[in-house]
Amino acid sequence: MYQENDTNIVFYNQDVPLIITVEDSFSGISEIEWSIANDNKQGTITVNENGDIQTTGDEAIIINESIGKDSNLVTSLQFMVTVTSDTNENLVSVNLTDNAKNKVEAATTKSYNVDKTAPAISSTLTSNAAYYNGDQVVTITIDERNFRSKDVHFTLNDDEVEVTSWENDQNNANVHIGKYTISKDGVYSYNISYTDMAGNHSQNASTTSFVVDQTPPVLKTNFNEFKTSNKEHYFGVSQIDKNIVITITEHNFDPSLAHVEIKRKNPGETHDKTGMEIVSRGTWSTDEKDKDKHTFTIPFSNKKEDGKYDTYDGIYVVSVTPFDILSIVGSTFPALIASALSASS
């Protein structure tokens, strides 16, 4: 069983039984010598003056019904030998001597390529982390004697891509190493398969999904709306129906990594960071059209049905230092940007 391929070389993926035909119709066959080089097999078939056939050396099977005779001369016969070595360019040779002692050296020779071993594939990534903030390099290792890079099928997110960077392992010429670099942000998975020139199929190499994210979060706030020309910033009841709005644009968003901190102390105290306590206030929302845009809203009042306000009087310090899930730091707004917001009626 073999596979023809575009190299016009025949590769077999199992043992190759050969039926060899030898003829000498004039003087008759006296001796046949045969050998299979890479199998380290050889033998001799002799025909005596009575036409009796004997074999010596490694086993060659005479096909009895193929024997042709002219009186006591054997003028033709067929015998079978088997090529078993898992190697390339395995030379099979046959020499013929007739009864007149004419000898034909290499009466027939042919080279056989046998590849019974399935390719072995393995792959590694630069990082095995589910999230990675650098280029992910897929390193593909294929152990295959009859290797061609164009027979590698590498699919990335179900799209086949070509791996063009290949080199041989310095210690083993049958081991071939290819690299493919993934730089663009995204969620990825891949699958690798290979079929050699003899039709042997590898076990596929694949990975579960992983994320490449090299883009820092983008931060936008309205902190400047809570500053005045004064050293201390005061906002009265007519101004408190406004919110601090923090917007973070990040694909792999985790609100716990936004690091929004709200500190408060009672109105009338000194406008500095001393004596403050962390308070919990505000809610996250995600933009319906842009799922990467996330907004945190901090209110300082609650307008009631009668038009009046419940107010959150106090002196506030708000800070935000967003990280994404890969610890990439986005823009940082230091503490005390809204340095002291006092809400009072």
- At residue 299, the pLDDT reads 84
Q: How far apart are the C-alpha atoms of 28 and 51, rounded to whole Å?
A: 9
Burial of 43 (0-12, 13-18, 19+ CB in 10 A): middle
| Phi then psi dihedrals of residue 149, to 5 deg | -65, -30
Q: Determine the residue type at 342.
A: S
What are the boundaries of each domain within the chain?
2-114, 120-212, 218-344
C-alpha to C-alpha distances, 9 to 5, 72, 74, 276, nearest whole angstrom: 7, 42, 36, 82
- CATH class given for the domain over 120-212: mainly beta
- At residue 258, the pLDDT reads 83
Same CATH topology for 2-114 and 120-212?
Answer: yes
Torsion sign over Cα 324, 326, 332, 334 = positive
- At residue 342, the pLDDT reads 42
* CATH numeric code, 2-114: 2.60.40
Q: How far apart are the C-alpha atoms of 254 and 166, rounded to whole Å?
A: 39
- At residue 308, the pLDDT reads 63
Split the chain (345 residues) into runs of 10 and give each run's mean pLDDT: 67 94 93 95 94 90 94 94 96 94 82 94 92 92 95 95 94 96 94 94 90 86 77 61 84 84 84 86 90 89 66 81 58 39 39
CATH of 218-344, one of 3.30.750, 2.60.40, 3.30.390, 2.40.128: 2.60.40
Q: How far apart are the C-alpha atoms of 270 and 211, rounded to whole Å?
A: 47
